[in-house]
Amino acid sequence: MVADRGGQDEEEDGPVPRTGWRVVDRGNPRQVVLLAPSSRRPHHWWRAGLDRTEDGWRAHVSWAEPERPARSERGAGLRLDWPSSSLELPAAAVPDLQVRIGRYADDGTRLPLDWDPEDGTHVVGHVLDPTTEEPLPFQARQAFAGLGPAAAPDAAGDVWLPLRWTTYDVERLPPGDYRVRAQLSALPVHTPTVPLRVTPRPAT
């Protein structure tokens, strides 16, 4: 196995741990993620990503990183909403749809958004069959650059985020009835599924 050590401070983090590693994720048979506790920095963990290549396993080991709350905790109280409970617009306007994000208490009181910047603000949208609610043909893999658009509130205090649609050629959907759903790419937070009516293109 070949190990790459990326960006660590040897004096602060110490040597890569020889014991204590545990598997936390298996993306596929060729990818494994492991964590090990730091012996020098309390509540910090080393992370190793293993990739199987034709030459054997290659590991990239990160520096010891601080513990983060679980995704479910970071997403607690977050809510994504569409502009309305049903949508009607021409296909050309679908790519410009945005969703509102907020954090709320159990009684519906709005709370500070206090966003973890590591989670980013990328939102993906899906167009669904109106009967089965199965996704229309879509691009399964999405590559994002950076952490996403700034989550700045508007004059009413609402934060709106643009969507990246997974559905192919969403701007050319035939007129008709559909359903739509959107979700944060990094957290288990999604909108309600709502109806979308695509109207015919205005005559010219």
DSSP state of 137: S
Round to the nearest angstrom and report the end-to-end CA distance of the chain. Answer: 64
The SS3 call for residue 71 is helix
**143-173 pLDDT per residue, tens:** 555 667 667 777 777 889 999 999 999 999 9
pTM of the model: 0.67
User: How remote is the C-alpha of 65 from its chain's centroid?
Assistant: 20
Q: How far apart are CA 20 and CA 123, in angstroms?
A: 36
DSSP string, 80-131: EE-SSSSEEEEGGGGGG-EEEEEEE-TTS-EE-----GGG---EEEEEE-TT
- Residues 118-129 have pLDDT tens digits of 788 889 999 999
